Amino acid sequence: MANEKKMNCVILGLLSHESLTGYEIKKRMDTTFKFFWSASYGSIYPTLNSLVNDGMVIKLETTDNGRDKVIYTITDVGKEYFKKWLTLPVTKDELRYETLLKLFFGGEIGSDVTLEHIHNFESKIKSELPYLQGAVHELAKIQDDGEAHKYFLLTAMFGKRVYEAYLEWCEDARKILEDN
């Protein structure tokens, strides 16, 4: 298996739960996964085609109110491949904070520009945090024995903790830069 193409696994994961179109897959990622994963159409559609070729998913071409769409459904082969991948150790968490990169070299241009970068970062985080706080609040209430929500809760808690740490850091950073 060699732990390759992660795009395969993200898509199979989403399809494990429900059949979706490529467009819907993208939407799921842009909402639920936003703070820890992302993908472009340029990888989603080609990946779906290759998954069909490999017998991991099947496609159903249909029409919805005159608009064409293709619904993808995972096969047993796909399910097995996905579960296998879940058990393999993580190869790499990939972080590329462009904000931090610009910050690191801030000495080259001075604090005004850097404070602006921090401000933009802070705004973005503040706008996204309520979704995470809401998710943690809602998911923590659920007391049934269904397992899936527990794992969703875990990721939301991760996002909440990290986002709150970001905001605390923004305060510290501003203080350091402002009192010259």
Question: Are 73 and 15 in contact, with CB atoms under 8 Å apart?
Answer: yes
Q: How distant, in Å, are the alpha carbons of 47, 70, 138, 176 from that of 75? A: 15, 16, 32, 55
Among 113, 123, 134, 137, binds its own copies (CB under 8 A): 113
Among 40, 73, 120, 123, binds DNA (CB under 7 A): 40
Look at residue 45 and give the partner it binds from its own copies, DNA, none, a contact being a CB closer than 5 to 8 Å depending on partner kind: DNA
Look at residue 86 and give the partner it binds from its own copies, DNA, none, a contact being a CB closer than 5 to 8 Å depending on partner kind: its own copies
Collect all residues with Cβ–Cβ distance below 8 Å to 85 and sequence separation of at least 6: 1, 3, 9, 12
Is residue 114 part of the contact set for DNA (CB under 7 A)?
no
72 DSSP 8-state letter: E
Look at residue 169 and give the partner it binds from its own copies, DNA, none, a contact being a CB closer than 5 to 8 Å depending on partner kind: its own copies
Q: How many angstroms separate the CA atoms of 9 and 39, rounded?
A: 12
Using CB under 7 A, list all residues that contact DNA. Answer: 4-8, 21-24, 26-27, 38-43, 45-49, 64-71, 91-92, 94
